[in-house]
Amino acid sequence: MALDFKGRVAIVTGAGGGLGREHALALAARGARVLVNDLGGAVDGSGGSATAAERVVAQIRAAGGEAVANGASVTDFAAVQAMVQQAMETWGRVDVLVSNAGILRDKSFAKMELADFRQVLDVHLMGAVHCCKALWPVMTAQKYGRIVLTTSSTGLYGNFGQANYGAAKLALVGLMQTLALEGMKNDIRVNCLAPTAVTRMTEALFPPDMLEAFGPQAVVPAMLVLASEQAPTRTTLCAGAGGFEAANITLTQGAYIGAGADAPEQLLARLDEVRDRRGEAVPASGAEQGANELRLARR
């Protein structure tokens, strides 16, 4: 079944280049009308210009699609609200949000300034929160919405020198978990995408012979699935170089130890048993942790 976005309206943040640009072009090529958002700043978030977004809009229009540009910073909630209003005034609805805007301020934690930690959280996490918050009433009223949050393997698994980025990216998975539950009754499906791709933020990390294989266009199929009418919800898809995986936060079967005076010593002695991944499960909600602990206590 071909993925068709005709009649749909999408907002893609950070869409002036790299992954965001490919996302916007792909959605437009499949019929979506696209608001292309990009502050036009440097990799570290400094500066700003609407030129990058306007170039992508021109490319979409040249191919016969519909698009408008927006230069709002996702860190500014009022500007994000105005961005959503721009899409509503232009097309009357918004069906898809691809929250892609981000910056890097990499340093080892010992050398990192707290201001750089906060700024990365502000762009990646609060930027996504601002977009979701501004769009939530629109999608609730429509009883339809598809939200794709951009997480990262750094958030899922860690990476040296990226404590700020990793903290922000795993926080987005937590945001997804709850928004997906709260949006379910109104067919608002919320998912995460963890890309491995060569962009201006990451190109120095790849050996020269891998640059082509890890082009951002190879991530786009995962985004299209997560943004589509047929999308799952509460799913984290990983994508890069034509490979696709799913990441999950799991819960082991665990062990009952009790709360006696020697519980710390018993836990230490049985830690391998507690961490044993045989039979682990993906909880449907946070309540399942408590339910599992109750099961252990009743044995």
| Start-end of CATH 3.40.50.720 domains in the chain | 9-247
Q: What is the mean pLDDT of the segment spanning 113-140?
A: 98
The pLDDT, as a whole number, for residue 40 is: 84
The pLDDT, as a whole number, for residue 244 is: 97
The pLDDT, as a whole number, for residue 234 is: 98
pTM of the model: 0.94
Given pLDDT bands bounded at 50, 70 and 90, which one contains residue 282? very high
Q: Which residues contact 18 (CB under 8 A, 6 or more apart)?
A: 197, 199, 200, 201, 216
Q: What is the mean pLDDT of the segment spanning 132-156?
A: 98
Q: What is the mean pLDDT of the segment spanning 13-33?
A: 97
Candidate list 144, 157, 165, 256, residue with the active-site label = 165
Could you tell me the fold of the domain covering 9-247? Rossmann fold (3.40.50)
The pLDDT, as a whole number, for residue 46 is: 61
Q: What is the mean pLDDT of the segment spanning 174-182?
A: 98
Q: Which of 88-102, 199-213, 263-277 has the lowest mean pLDDT?
A: 199-213
Q: Which residues contact 128 (CB under 8 A, 6 or more apart)?
A: 74, 99, 149, 150, 172, 175
Reply yes or no on whether 165 is catalytic.
yes
Note whether 100 and 67 are within 8 A (CB).
no
67-107 pLDDT tens trace: 999 999 999 999 999 999 999 999 999 999 999 999 999 99
48-72 pLDDT tens trace: 567 899 999 999 999 999 999 999 9
